[in-house]
Amino acid sequence: MIRGIVVVNNLGGIFLRSEYEKKRSAVDTNPLSMYVMQHLWNKIVKVVPLWIAPNLLTFVGFLMILWNYLLLCFYDWGYTASGIGYQHIPNWVWISAALGNFLAYALDSIDGKHARITQSSSPLGELFDHGLDSWTASIFPMSIFSIFGCNSGDSALAATTMYSVTCIVLFTFMLSHWEKYNTGVLFLPWAYDISQMSMSVLYILTAVVGVDTFHKPLVFNFYMTHVLITFLVGCSLLISVPQTVHNIFRGYNQKTLLKPSLYEGLLPLLSPSLLCFLLSIWVAYSPCGILEKQPRLFLWMLGVTFSNVTCRVIISQMTNTRCEVFHWMLFPLILLVGAAVSGLLGQVEEITFIAFTLLTTAAHVHYGVCVGRFVQGKQLSKHLNIYVFSIRKRYAD
Q: Share the mean pLDDT of the chain.
A: 85
Q: Which residue has the higher pLDDT, 29 or 274?
A: 274
106 pLDDT band, cuts 50/70/90, is very high
Across 357-373, average pLDDT: 85
On the question of pLDDT at 18 being above 50, the answer is no
Look at the chain and count its residues. Answer: 397
Q: How far is CA 158 from CA 132, 137, 138, 291, 293, in A?
A: 28, 20, 17, 10, 12
Please tell me the pTM assigned to this model: 0.89
pLDDT tens figures, 304-360: 999 999 998 988 887 778 888 889 999 999 999 999 999 999 999 999 999 999 999
Domain 2-384 sits in which CATH superfamily? CDP-alcohol phosphotransferase transmembrane (TM) domain (1.20.120.1760)
Per DSSP, the three-state class of 325 is coil
128 pLDDT band, cuts 50/70/90, is confident
What span, in angstroms and rounded, lies between the C-alpha atoms of 113 and 192? 18
| Host H or E run for residue 222 | strand 222-223
State residue 354's pLDDT score.
97
What span, in angstroms and rounded, lies between the C-alpha atoms of 218 and 180? 42
Annotate 318-384 with DSSP letters as a single string.
HHT-PPPSS-TTHHHHHHHHHHHHTTSSGGGHHHHHHHHHHHHHHHHHHHHHHHHHHHHSHHHHHHH
What span, in angstroms and rounded, lies between the C-alpha atoms of 109 and 85? 40
| Segments in 149-223 forming alpha helices (H) | 159-183, 190-209
| Segments in 76-158 forming alpha helices (H) | 91-117, 123-148
What span, in angstroms and rounded, lies between the C-alpha atoms of 127 and 118? 18
Amino acid identity of 193? D
- The share of the chain scoring above pLDDT 70, in percent, equals 87
Least confident of 49-58, 71-80, 235-244: 235-244
- The share of the chain scoring above pLDDT 90, in percent, equals 49
266 pLDDT band, cuts 50/70/90, is very high
Please calculate the CA angle 148-153-158 and round it to the nearest 5 degrees: 60
Name, of 4-18, 137-151, 296-310, 382-396, the range with top average pLDDT.
296-310
| Domains of the chain by residue range | 2-384
On the question of pLDDT at 390 being above 80, the answer is no
CA dihedral 113, 55, 309, 63 (to 10 degrees): -110
